[in-house]
A and B are shown apart, each in its own frame.
Chain A
Amino acid sequence: MNRNTRINALLLLAVAALAALPLVLGLGDHKEEPFTGADAEAETAITEIEPDYEPWFSPLYEPPSGEIESALFALQAAVGAGVLAYYFGLRRGRRQGEERALAARQDPPAED
């Protein structure tokens, strides 16, 4: 592993550790429902501050179940990851192609 790859791996590891630590340390244990979404907690806070508040508009489409919702979230992440992977794959391929073409031009007899 060269230095660049090692630094990149360390960065990923740090992110994974930051995500895993709250779970490992049980930082959600003091809650009735640990690790709920902050967005939902804000909704609860709104109804605490203003108990009479009624949302005046409801979503046009709501995923019928948690499974469908997580599927759509996974789809969102997959589309994003796919495009990113395409970008970096294309760049890498192009660069390798250019290097090969350059090497072939400088050193024609090396090609068999």
Chain B
Amino acid sequence: MHIAEGFLPPAHAIAWGVASAPFVVHGVRSLTREVREHPESTLLLGASGAFTFVLSALKLPSVTGSCSHPTGTGLGAVLFRPPIMAVLGTITLLFQALLLAHGGLTTLGANVFSMAVAGPWAGYGVYRLLRRYDVPLMVTVFFGAFVADLSTYCVTSVQLALAFPDPGSGFLGALGKFGSIFAVTQIPLAVSEGLLTVLVMRLLVQSSKGELTRLGVLLTTRGPKKQAVSAR
């Protein structure tokens, strides 16, 4: 989903930058508030960022005969809500743009929008929706991560199709082209990401019950607040 450096026309690059900026600024505020009010969550925040770091470095082969990578943003979105994930995702993208020539500074706005804003929000939305219908936690986590991953690549396809409409078939033709490169490749990877996110969530449930209860991921039937305090 990394649009390469210089591969978006200036007007598009600026527009996506403007679109992403408020989410990142709001995210930085949420992040500092979270750290100030709950210093104990710093470790788990670090772990969520680390998960994105690992997953977005893993380039995996897919059914289309090309390689792509997961995003790892679903976990942080479910744990800390999407605004905070916008910051963690931006840090990852900045690292890759500056050191790996993967993505770029001029396309940072667009890449942040797809991976750190749209993906986390879409995944979080699905997670919340499924939770409302009492779907088991791990199933909601799987679909949250799956949707966060896949929607990121769909947004990238839209971004490229907007910038480079096909001369013959227009926006939709280009969308089909970029979609077949990104979205189809991504389906099995999104499944992998869902499974890995479930794995990490299972480990978290085993190791960090108190933290998950405070964040509202785990619900306890008897006095959730007290439970969170005593479990720490």
How far in angstroms is the closest Cβ of chain B from A104? 19
> Are B208 and A91 in contact (CB-based, < 8 A)?
yes
Across the interface, do A80 and B164 meet the contact criterion of CB distance under 8 Å?
A: no
Chain A, 70-98, contact with B by CB distance < 8 Å: what is the 0/1 string? 00111011011111100110111001000
CB of B148 within 8 Å of the partner chain: no
**A42–B160 contact, CB under 8 A?**
yes
A85 to B121, CA, bound (A): 27
Pick the contact of B61 from A8, A22, A80, A95 — CB < 8 Å? Answer: A22
Asked if B7 and A38 sit within 8 Å, CB to CB, the answer is no
Chain A interface size, under 10 / 10 to 19 / 20 to 34 / 35 or more: 35 or more
Contact A42 B182, CB 8 Å, known A22-B63, A63-B100, A76-B57: yes
Counting residue pairs across A and B whose Cβ atoms lie within 8 Å, the total is 180
A27 touches B64 (CB 8 A): yes
Mask of B119-143 contacts with A, CB within 8 angstroms, 1/0: 0000000000000000000000000
Contacts of B43 in A (CB 8 A): 87, 90
CA distance A19 to B191 in the complex (A): 11
User: From B205, which residue of chain A is reached at the shortest CB distance?
Assistant: A4
A88→B46 CA distance, assembly (Å):
12
Does A62 reach chain B (CB closer than 8 Å)?
Answer: yes
One of A28, A55, A69, A81 near B5 (C-beta < 8 A): A55
A74: min CB distance to chain B, Å: 8
B65 touches A27 (CB 8 A): yes
A103 within 8 A of B: no
Q: Residue B216 at the A interface, CB < 8 A?
A: no
Main secondary structure of the interface of B (DSSP, over half): helix
In the complex, identify which listed stretch (B20-28, B79-87, B195-203, B221-229) lies at the interface while the others stay far away. Answer: B195-203
Could you give, for residues 93-111 of chain B, a 1 whenever the CB lies within 8 Å of some chain A CB and a 0 otherwise? Answer: 0011111111011100000
Query: B217: which A residues are within 8 A, CB to CB?
Result: none
Docked pose: A61 CA to B56 CA in angstroms: 20
Chain A residues, CB < 8 A from B61: 19, 22-23, 27-28, 35
Query: CB distance A37 to B105 under 8 Å?
Result: no
CA of A18 to CA of B186, assembled, Å: 12
Known A12-B199, A28-B65, A28-B66; contact A55-B44, beta-carbon cutoff 8 A: no
Q: Decide if A30 touches B65 in the complex (CB within 8 Å).
A: yes
Interchain CB contact under 8 A, A15 and B192:
yes
- A109 proximal to B (CB < 8 A): no
By the criterion CB–CB under 8 Å, are B6 and A80 in contact? no
**Known contacts A38-B68, A42-B178; A87/B195 CB under 8 A:** no
Q: B166 to chain A: closest CB distance in Å?
A: 6
Please give 15 more A-B residue pairs, beta carbons under 8 A apart, in addition to A19-B192, A37-B67, A43-B7.
A15-B192, A19-B61, A21-B63, A27-B61, A35-B61, A57-B104, A62-B101, A80-B53, A81-B54, A83-B49, A84-B200, A87-B43, A87-B47, A91-B207, A92-B207
Name B's A-contacting residues (CB within 8 A).
1-7, 9-10, 43-44, 46-47, 49-68, 95-102, 104-106, 156, 160, 164-167, 174, 177-178, 181-182, 185-186, 188-189, 191-192, 195-196, 198-200, 202-203, 206-208
The 8 A-B residue pairs with the shortest CB-CB distance, nearest first, are: A55-B6, A80-B53, A28-B65, A80-B54, A83-B50, A57-B6, A91-B207, A59-B101
